[in-house]
Amino acid sequence: MTHPLEAPLALLTRDFREFQARGAAFVLATVVATEGSTYRKAGTQMLIGANAELRGLLSGGCLEVDLVEHALEVLTTGAAKLASYDMRGQDDLLFGLGSGCEGAMQVLLQRVGPAEYWQPLAHIADCTERRLSGDIAIIVDGAGAGRCWWETGGNASWPEPPAIQAARANTGAERGTQLVSCTLAGSPARVLILPLVPPPALLLLGAGADAVPLAGLAFALGLAVTVSDHRPAFAVPARFPQCQVRCIAPSDLNATLDLGKFDAAVIMSHYLPADLEYLRALSANRRVAYIGLLGPAARRERLLAELGSAASGLTGRLRAPVGLDIGARTPEAIALAVIAEIHAWLAGRGGRPYSETLDATRS
């Protein structure tokens, strides 16, 4: 992974919990390795249900038909399977689709269900829900394929080799996934080490009509979203599925919420006194690295003037007006502009048109 939304664990956890509640086994598909140009990279995961229900994508749709066939076999036998695809070359017409991806990919398919005690997804989901960082090591080859080690245990049949322990000790979000070679029961094997990074946390301060599409888009991209408003008529959980919803007076925000756990915050109450208190609270907490303020520049200047010397605490963090300039006017378009800027910030990108970025690297 190059940024925390490339393989969003919040969505994987949501889909796993839904499948788990049904009580029936399904298949976890994990990209183990890639070469050349591929739609997704190592560490990307998706779920495949017994009725060919897909949650997530590993390609643009050209591999999933074949992956379903392999998944049905894995569901029947219980044995993990490694599927390899090579889409390079002029004569590649993979499954008659001619993907043109010019890349190769290996995908590990493993059954997850009651017989497997829902592992390794139960551990991944627990870390995600508790916002714990860590990693998981998945055996890719041989009789132990699909078995795992993690910090507090695992379900592999052998003690974790020193080489894997050392690799896990050095892994992290900035390093990305690792494919490590080792020996298991006298045979060579490969182990995929996946960093488990908590979803970025977004705080929406204001729960009006325009917060609804923004919260939905943010969760769909894999962020953990909390919505707060001082108005009980707006702070209604049913309006914000999959989000934490709080009803908190703006002046009580710092005392009630641990603001330090949020990566980004967007102020959008459309009520000047509330927005002033939100800015005051965020200026006092330097751990929120991205602060967005909805509204025109004149509104921003008025609020900063009223904030006085405390405004210096927002230096380098405040984006106002928040969002990319895409000509947004409707609530849905504004939500798109805001979440696009947040995504670019999380990914360490400038939000330029991709064609311009490519042209700049060629010049």
- Residue 315: give its domain's CATH number: 3.40.50.720
In a domain, 94, yes or no: no
CA dist list (Å): 326 to 320, 332, 337, 358:
15, 12, 6, 20
Which of 196, 212, 238 is the C-terminal boundary of a domain?
196
Which of 171, 196, 221 is the C-terminal boundary of a domain?
196
- Cβ count near 359 (within 10 Å): 11
Kindly state whether residues 184 and 292 are assigned to the same domain: no
In a domain, 313, yes or no: yes
Residue given tokens 């380098």 in the structure block: 316
Q: Give the tokens for residue 209.
A: 């009509």
Kindly state whether residues 245 and 114 are assigned to the same domain: no
Residue of 186, 162, 166 lying closest to 178 (CA atoms): 166
Residue type, 15: D
For the chain, how are helix, strand and coil distributed in percent, rounded to 5? 35, 25, 40
Instruction: In whole angstroms, give the CA distance from residue 20 to residue 114.
Output: 9
Cβ(262)–Cβ(292) below 8 Å? no
> By three-state DSSP, how is residue 189 classified?
strand
Kindly state whether residues 264 and 279 are assigned to the same domain: yes
Instruction: In whole angstroms, give the CA distance from residue 90 to residue 309.
Output: 64
Q: Which residues partner with 239 through β-bridges? A: none
Q: Give the tokens for residue 226.
A: 């909390």
Kindly state whether residues 174 and 245 are assigned to the same domain: no
Instruction: In whole angstroms, give the CA distance from residue 47 to residue 13.
Output: 11
Which of 146, 163, 196 is the C-terminal boundary of a domain?
196
Kindly state whether residues 173 and 62 are assigned to the same domain: yes
Residue given tokens 């007076």 in the structure block: 249
Q: Compute the half-sphere exposure of residue 322: CA atoms within 13 Å on the CB side of its CA.
A: 25
From the CA atom positions of the chain, what is the Rg in Å? 23
Region label for 147, one of left (φ > 0), alpha (ψ between -120 and 50) or beta (otherwise): beta
Q: Report the domain count for the chain.
A: 2
Q: What is the pLDDT of residue 238?
A: 97
Kindly state whether residues 81 and 224 are assigned to the same domain: no
In a domain, 3, yes or no: no
Phi, psi (degrees; rounded to nearest 5) at 5: -100, 5
Q: What is the model's pTM? A: 0.85
In a domain, 354, yes or no: no
Q: Which residues partner with 203 through β-bridges? A: 226, 265
In a domain, 4, yes or no: no
Kindly state whether residues 83 and 176 are assigned to the same domain: yes
Instruction: In whole angstroms, give the CA distance from residue 25 to residue 292.
Output: 43
Q: Is the peptide bond before 120 cis (omega within 30 degrees of 0)?
A: yes
Instruction: In whole angstroms, give the CA distance from residue 36 to residue 99.
Output: 13
Kindly state whether residues 123 and 20 are assigned to the same domain: yes
Cβ(147)–Cβ(42) below 8 Å? no
In a domain, 95, yes or no: no
Cβ(241)–Cβ(248) below 8 Å? no
Kindly state whether residues 166 and 41 are assigned to the same domain: yes
Kindly state whether residues 39 and 18 are assigned to the same domain: yes
Q: What is the pLDDT of residue 96?
A: 44
In a domain, 236, yes or no: yes
Kindly state whether residues 45 and 176 are assigned to the same domain: yes
Strand runs (DSSP E) across 151-221, as ranges?
Answer: 153-154, 178-184, 187-196, 201-205
Q: What is the pLDDT of residue 90?
A: 54
Q: Which residues partner with 136 through β-bridges? A: 150, 194
Q: What is the pLDDT of residue 232?
A: 97
Burial of 76 (0-12, 13-18, 19+ CB in 10 A): exposed
Task: Provide the domain limits for residue 252.
Answer: 201-347
Residue given tokens 């894999």 in the structure block: 222
Instruction: In whole angstroms, give the CA distance from residue 199 to residue 81.
Output: 29
In a domain, 108, yes or no: yes
Kindly state whether residues 192 and 219 are assigned to the same domain: no
Cβ(106)–Cβ(33) below 8 Å? yes
Would you write out the chain's pLDDT as a tens digit for each of its 363 residues? 467 777 789 999 999 999 999 999 999 999 999 888 787 888 899 999 999 999 998 887 778 889 999 999 999 999 999 999 887 765 544 444 444 556 888 999 999 999 999 999 999 999 999 999 889 999 999 889 999 999 888 999 889 888 898 888 876 555 678 999 998 988 899 999 999 988 999 999 999 999 999 999 999 999 999 999 999 999 999 999 989 999 999 999 999 999 999 999 999 999 999 999 999 999 999 899 999 999 999 999 999 999 999 999 999 999 999 999 999 999 999 999 999 999 999 999 888 888 887 666 655
